[in-house]
Chains A and B, each alone.
Chain A
Amino acid sequence: MTFQEYTPDQEDALQEVVNIAMGQAGAALAQVLDVYVALSVPRVRIVSADGVADAVQAMIASAQDGDPGDVTAVRQGFFNSLRGESIALFGTEGCNSLADLMGHEQALEKDEIDRELLLEVSNILSGAVLNGVAEQLDTDFAFSAPTLMAMRQPVNRLLDAQALGWDYALLVEVNFRLEAPGFSCHLVLLMPEESIEFMRRGLDAMLEGL
């Protein structure tokens, strides 16, 4: 398909939209866990299917906390005017201390607690970021249940270009760090072609209003 990059203005606007949404997500997480969540500047890019794995890896490696090594990943679908998937990537270290923060009872096995927690935190972050984006674009989303996508795997194993049903996608990355227990999460949003165009129209409408 022929396809047009975002203009610098559109990219700037999208980055700011995501920035605001990320702020809300950070505040949501902070409220639930009662800790301070450090935020960094979100990044947005349009990527081709065969470049997506490298792009995700590059984004993560250039974040402040550096290469997380193997990651555990949770995916979740969102749909309506924008369709896509969010993938939350957690470093192998640092997940454990969450259990206390989240108020979990000892009824479940340790491993199960970790898993449930990761699903929970992923759901909070992707829900808050996407609801924040939706609000600014005057739309809303429905969500599928989060599922565990990979446990302790290298990032480049997560996305197989052959298996992706699109040529280009909008890639959005935000990074959350908890100051206290040394935990960090990268949230990656991937939206295929038709969402790139919907987003473009939404951004243009915002820019026209300036």
Chain B
Amino acid sequence: MPLPVLVVDDSSMSRKLTIRAFPGDWDVEVSQASGGQEALDAIERGLGHVVFLDLTMPGMSGFDVLAEIRRRGLDCFAVVVSADVQPKAEEQARQLGAMAFVRKPVKADALHGVLREYGFL
């Protein structure tokens, strides 16, 4: 069964760039969300076992989404994909439950490294 993967970003180009960086042979079912609320709904419906999450989004930020995932006790593996590359941002995201941090612009190598590290490949 393909792995449900959710890509969350307010920019559609950015979502496409992330998806394009996925390994070609990765067996996944990809869903997309353009905002925090939409993302949480999708995760509740089981569409995001792995979630690629942007941090700077209008309204609900990626930090807010992480906090909400934890509060609702949702089970997912969150990978932050962010242009905010300050160490503090990464630290804060990890404290809120993010498992990994990938910098924008997304490099396929970096993304594959994360997936390999956590046994998704």
Contact = CB atoms under 8 A, between A and B. Distances in A.
A120 interface: no
Nearest to B20: A210
B86 A15 contact: no
Interface residues of A, number: 22
Q: Chain B interface secondary structure, helix, strand, loop or mixed?
A: loop
A19 B11 contact: yes
Contacts of A40: 56
A30 B12 contact: no
Interface string A99-139: 00000000000000000000000000000000000001000
B17 A30 contact: no
A86 to B, nearest CB: 19
A42 to B, nearest CB: 8
Given A9-B12, A16-B14, A26 B84 contact: yes
A158 interface: no
B72 interface: no
Contacts of B105: 20, 136
B46 interface: no
Interface residues of B, number: 20
Interface in A1-29: 9, 12-13, 15-16, 19-20, 22-24, 26-27
Interface in A38-87: 39-41
A187 to B, nearest CB: 15
B104 interface: yes
A41 B84 contact: no
A23 B17 contact: no
Interface of A: 9, 12-13, 15-16, 19-20, 22-24, 26-27, 30, 36-37, 39-41, 136, 206-207, 210
- Give me the 4 closest cross-chain CB pairs, A-B, nearest first: A23-B83, A16-B11, A36-B88, A20-B83
8 contacts: A19-B104, A20-B83, A23-B84, A36-B86, A39-B83, A210-B13, A210-B16, A210-B17
Interface of B: 10-14, 16-17, 20, 56-58, 82-86, 88-89, 104-105
